[in-house]
A and B are shown apart, each in its own frame.
Chain A
Amino acid sequence: MNLRRQAATLLPIVTAVLVGFAVCGVIAALVGLSPWVMFTELIKGAVEGPQLFETVARAVPLVGMTLAAGIPLRAGIVNLGADGQLVLGACAAAIVALYLPAPDAVRLVAALAVGAIIGGGYAALAAAGEIVAKVPLLLSTWLLTYPAKGLCGYLVRSPLRDPVTAWPSSKRIAVGARLGHLIPGTPVNQGLLLIAVAAVLIVFIDRRTSVGYELRMRGLNERFARYGGVALSRQTAWLMFASGALAGLVGAIMVVGSQYRFTDGALTAPQYSWSGTLAALLAGGEPIAGIVAAVLFAALQTGGFAMERSVEIPRVLTMVLESVIILFLSMRGAIWRRAS
């Protein structure tokens, strides 16, 4: 891609980000907060000193969820069930990490693997609905999150409940079965390596393999892909499995790498799934752009937390910011203008 075309695709995104900031500034001003303070605290909170490690730590699951959303998005499919897949994967990982009769290191690896498989399997269930019964994935993935969260919420309140804590939570995972810190003294754990490997794999597959080619062509024109011999149903099943598996892996990493237990609601509180979906939309499903968008959003969110702590501006404003950016881009037709 030549430089001019690259600039042409970047320009609407940069404009959208600026518009997003402007709109949030207006909203802040309207309720009596200072936009200038908001911005400075946001940026400081993202990159100043130890905050930078916070941003990196947050970027790991966010990049993971962005890539998870981006895989089916490349084919034009929206996976709105990433939350459910993440939670199921996390719960399964916690169960394995706590109860598998095996040495610590084995439990850790098994937990991560099981988390991914369960997450992938659940997403593949939705794919089956689409393939066999034409139930749109957009709907089925969303609807399936409720039973998933419900089941895990129930499990962690009765059979798996840790009687010691006040929250509905599983027991703490043994130190040996946890993912260690990557950079000592920071919240960045070894999960970063896993996600980094996943990212490299995904980018490679997307750009340099036949599978990636078929995926991209389908995203551009599904009829063309079918006409050319691409097996669409099989592709859908694999796409959804991969997407769910990555989401499940992220959940597993959160459980064995930072939270060290499964607590109902704690995995979805940071809303990585939604931000991941938004970042993937921002990137149009393209993996590298998705990673950049995810890092940007991670910075925003870390900054948001710090902003709330220091000047009490609600950090949920960053979610508003993210949605405005995507909304603006989609209005300008920079995202998938429908062929008229």
Chain B
Amino acid sequence: MGALFNATFFDQAVLGITPILLAALAGTLSERVGLFNIALDGQMLVGAFAAVAGSHFTGTLSGGIAAAVLATVAFSALLAFGSAVLRGNDIVIGISLNLLAAGLTSFLLRVLFGVSGTFSDSSMAGLPRLHVPGVAALPVLGRALGEQNALVYLSWLLVLLTAVFLDRTPWGLRLRGIGEQFDAAVTLGTKAVRYRIVVTLVGGALCGLAGLQLSLGSLTLFSENMTAGRGWIAVAAVMLGRARPLAVASACLLFGLSDALGLRLQGEGLPNQITDSAPYVVTLVALVIAGLRQRIDARRVVI
């Protein structure tokens, strides 16, 4: 068991955290502006598919990136319209969008690529790993911290930017007000609906990047429902972190580590059906503990 927490473990952990982190940031912004975004999983899936489609059909990485972001933003426009503009029920819209994403991506997988299940193409352009000189030489954590792709580093930067944005800028202040008391913000002259729309679309872009990391971040493939519920873990992270960027990031770290632990235990011979459940069980336990300590953001999570 000594080699349990080795370089590969931490590398896997960082890779695993990144999509969840990006999606959780999207969820954080939505939550702060008063919307309950549970369509993170579906948006991520759209992004993952679009990334592969874009990369394959244009033959370039930038094609994949552009496709991921644009397609997910377009998809999130449905959420923005239904939730922010029409004030429909967040939960129902979120559930139907998740299913729509699953159905659409499976449909397009068959129609565009002629396969079902998985499409993989090792010649496709994926996200290349960078090399940060000093950091990469560190023991154990070297690869995890110093040799990741650009998107991973971007995600860390985005956590800080989001925190600063919310606390220190005028738009962040207005977001917080809108989320807390929509009507008050409107009477004070803030174009609250517009803020909500923009936040949802930006969240879409973030989820698109999350999907990009999933499908092009290490292996280059898309398989049906490849998000495997990570979007829901992101929702849990937002709840546990009470929509504060740094706390949410810590929650994501916890899940990333348990995900990697699961993979590691699988390598040690434990059946993969059991180890695959690791992050979900960890999430549940974390939620129970937080709830017992009365630290769950008790939002109305009922239709």
Contacts and interface: CB of A to CB of B under 8 A. Distances in A.
Interface of A: 27, 31, 33, 73, 75-78, 80, 129, 132-140, 142-144, 146-147, 149-151, 153-154, 157-158, 222, 274, 277-278, 281, 314, 316-317, 319-320, 322-324, 326-327, 330-333, 335-338, 340
A326 B99 CA distance: 10
B172 to A, nearest CB: 24
B78 A327 contact: yes
B110 interface: yes
Nearest to B89: A336
Contacts of A324: 96, 100
B235 A139 contact: yes
B88 A335 contact: yes
B61 interface: no
B236 interface: yes
Contacts of A73: 303
Nearest to A318: B103
A336 B303 contact: yes
B103 A320 contact: yes
Contacts of B99: 274, 278, 319, 322-323
Nearest to B296: A134
A143 B283 contact: yes
Contact of A333 (B88, B90, B289, B296): B88
21 contacts: A78-B95, A78-B303, A132-B288, A132-B291, A134-B298, A143-B280, A150-B273, A150-B274, A151-B274, A274-B99, A277-B95, A317-B103, A320-B107, A323-B97, A326-B95, A327-B96, A327-B97, A331-B86, A331-B93, A340-B87, A340-B182
Contacts of A27: 104, 107
Interface of B: 38, 78, 81-82, 86-93, 95-97, 99-100, 102-104, 106-108, 110-112, 116, 182-183, 229, 232, 235-236, 239, 271, 273-274, 276-277, 280-281, 283-284, 287-292, 294, 296, 298, 301-303
Contacts of B274: 150-151, 154
A134 to B, nearest CB: 4
A142 B93 CA distance: 17
Contacts of B112: 31
Contacts of B277: 146-147, 150-151
Closest 7 CB pairs of A and B: A133-B291, A319-B103, A323-B100, A136-B301, A320-B103, A153-B273, A146-B280
Given A139-B235, A323-B103, A150 B276 contact: yes
B20 to A, nearest CB: 14
Contact of B103 (A139, A140, A143, A316): A316
A135 B92 contact: no
A131 to B, nearest CB: 10
Contacts of A129: 284, 287-288, 291
B303 A76 contact: yes
B224 to A, nearest CB: 9
Do most interface residues of chain B lie in helix, strand or loop, or is the interface mixed?
Answer: helix
Contacts of B298: 134
Contacts of B273: 149-151, 153-154, 157
Do most interface residues of chain A lie in helix, strand or loop, or is the interface mixed?
Answer: helix
Given A134-B296, A326-B96, A143 B232 contact: yes
Contact of B88 (A133, A137, A153, A337): A337
Given A78-B303, A146-B277, A338-B87, 4 more contacts: A137-B301, A277-B95, A314-B111, A330-B92
A143 B236 contact: yes
Nearest to A308: B110
A299 B301 CA distance: 32
A44 B291 CA distance: 52
Contacts of A136: 239, 296, 301-302
Given A78-B303, A138-B301, A139-B235, A314 B96 contact: no
A139 B232 CA distance: 7
B106 A158 contact: no
Contacts of A281: 92, 95-96
B243 to A, nearest CB: 15
A333 B82 CA distance: 9
Contact of B229 (A135, A142, A150, A158): A142
A147 B111 contact: no
Contacts of A77: 302-303
A139 B271 contact: no
A147 B100 contact: no
A322 B289 CA distance: 37
Contacts of A323: 96-97, 99-100, 103
Contact of B302 (A140, A222, A278, A333): A222
A277 B98 CA distance: 13
A154 to B, nearest CB: 4
Nearest to B104: A320
Contacts of B89: 330, 335-338
Contact of A331 (B88, B283, B301): B88
A139 B239 contact: yes
B23 to A, nearest CB: 15
Contacts of A153: 273
A137 B81 CA distance: 26
- Of the listed residues B96, B288, B294, B298, the one surrounded by the most CB atoms of chain A closer than 10 A to its CB is B96
A340 B236 CA distance: 25
Contacts of A326: 92, 95-96
